[in-house]
Amino acid sequence: MLRTSLRGFSVLAFLSAIGCASVGSQQPLSAIAIELDETPFHPQTKYMCGPSALATVFHRSGLEISSEKLAEQVYVPGRRGSLQIEMVAATRRHDRLAVLVDGNLLAIVDELKLDRPVLVLQNLGLKRFPVWHYAVVIGYDPDDDSFILRSGTTKRLVIRRSRFARTWARAERWAIVVLKPGELPQSQDAATYVNAVVGLESTGRLHAAFKAYQAGLTRWPSNNLLLFGYGNALYELEEIESAAKAYQDLLVVSPDYLPALNNLAQVLGELGCRREALALVDRASQLGDSSFRGILAETRRSISSRPDTECGVVINQRPGPFPPGHP
């Protein structure tokens, strides 16, 4: 009996401790006040917070596109709103990258410090009755611990940090920054950056993707996917020999990276190096990885069907990763 009440007491004490911690004693997210007041304001009409928010963040990346024009690219009348996927896709259509911001308030402030407004999704309603809303965070004021937003029809919405945090958390803390190819996000997470760049590449924005791969490699020089994508972008831009070099560099870092073995084989085949190419396919097949079996077989067929010519390319393995050059 005594034990139970003691336990109850300690739980209560614990809860009240948490309660105390969250009332007013939070550290400010930044010592200085930040406000990107040059961010334009695109007041929304009706259900158009998505296009308005996009137009607002596009400005920072050098794009002046009206929210009406963007509505044609993201608004879904039947849903009376815009989907996150299409917001991201629309940035690609303008050769920009939408990179996810890490899901914490500090990460938003970090981007603001780099002069980048942050596009956020909020749920202004309840979990069960969501009211989805896009807004743009343009500032943070440590004095009253508040965020400053361009939101809806309000040019300068000041919202308490705790209140903003709740509405943002109910939207799974979704936030993006829009970058020009060549710019890097504040986030140190290579995967989110790579995801954004691969999106550019796979939707055919090759020059933008190439530039973004190049920039990514300055921060993450031995990331497999960045090196691989860099090679693929070169290949698709028909810079065949540069692509071959890129795949070789990747194989120095990761000798058993099957996609690079396959693609280098394919490229060498195209360059007339049949024997070298077939050796690579053999090497890839010996890895016993079944994920790309069909493509490997296809590569072998295509190389075998080529005439046996003299290999005109110098295939030398470079000693370790090096900063990528221009094609």
Partner 1 sequence: MKRLLQQILLLSLVMSSLNNVAFARVITTEAALAIQQHEDSIERVGRFLMREDVQAALVRMGVDQSQAIERVQALTPSELAQLEQHLNELPAGGTGVIEVIGIVMIVLIVLELLGVTNVFTRF
Does residue 202 touch partner 1 according to CB under 8 A? yes
CA pair distance 141, 172, nearest whole angstrom: 23
Does residue 117 touch partner 1 according to CB under 8 A? no
Stretch that binds partner 1, among 17-25, 28-36, 106-114, 260-268 (CB under 8 A): 260-268
Does residue 252 touch partner 1 according to CB under 8 A? no
DSSP 8-class letter at 212: H
Q: What is the Cβ-side half-sphere exposure of residue 209, based on CA atoms within 13 angstroms? A: 28
| Pairing mode, strands 34-35 and 75-76 | unpaired
Stretch that binds partner 1, among 25-33, 60-68, 97-105, 298-306 (CB under 8 A): 298-306
Does residue 298 touch partner 1 according to CB under 8 A? yes
CA pair distance 163, 168, nearest whole angstrom: 9
Stretch that binds partner 1, among 3-11, 14-22, 42-50, 319-327 (CB under 8 A): 42-50
Does residue 92 touch partner 1 according to CB under 8 A? yes
3-state secondary structure of 149: strand
| One of 121, 149, 159, 234 touching partner 1 (CB under 8 A) | 121
Does residue 327 touch partner 1 according to CB under 8 A? no
CA pair distance 40, 38, nearest whole angstrom: 6
Shorter beta-carbon distance to partner 1: residue 117 or 229: 229
Contacts of 241 (CB under 8 A, 6+ apart): 271, 313
CA pair distance 169, 167, nearest whole angstrom: 6
Does residue 41 touch partner 1 according to CB under 8 A? no
**Residues paired with residue 119 on neighbouring β-strands, in sequence order:** 136, 176
Does residue 152 touch partner 1 according to CB under 8 A? yes
Shorter beta-carbon distance to partner 1: residue 93 or 166: 93
With CA atoms as reference, report the closest residue to 235 among 225, 226, 245, 221: 245
Give contact residues for partner 1 (rule: CB under 8 A).
Answer: 44, 46-50, 53, 72-73, 75-90, 92-93, 121, 123-125, 129-134, 152, 171, 194-195, 198-199, 201-204, 224-225, 228-229, 232, 235-236, 258-259, 262-263, 266, 291-292, 295, 298-299, 302
